[in-house]
Amino acid sequence: MGASGSDNAAKVDFRVEYQPWPADKAFPLTPLEAWYVMQGYAVRPARPVTMDEFLELPGQLELSDGYIMLRQT
C-alpha cells in the first residue's frame, strides 16, 4: 500500500458519452436551466424550445407541457 493512499482511489472514467455541442450553434437552454434539469428539476425554458432542438439535446430527457426533465427509469 502506498503512503499517500492513492492505491485505493476510485478510478474515474472520463470518456464522453455524448458529442460536445457545436460551438457555432446556440444551446437551447441557459446554463442555469441546464443545471436545474441535471439536478432533477422540471424546467420550463424562458425561450420556447422546438421539438427539433429538444431532440438534439444530450441525455435521457422528457418534454411534457413545455417542461424539460430527466427521464425517470
pLDDT at 34 over 70: yes
pLDDT of residue 6: 56
pLDDT of residue 12: 72
pLDDT in tens, 11-31: 777 676 777 888 999 999 999
Instruction: Provide the residue type at 42 as one letter.
Output: A
Per-domain boundaries in the chain: 25-73
pLDDT at 71 over 80: yes
Find the angle CA(33)-CA(49)-CA(42) to the nearest 5 degrees: 40
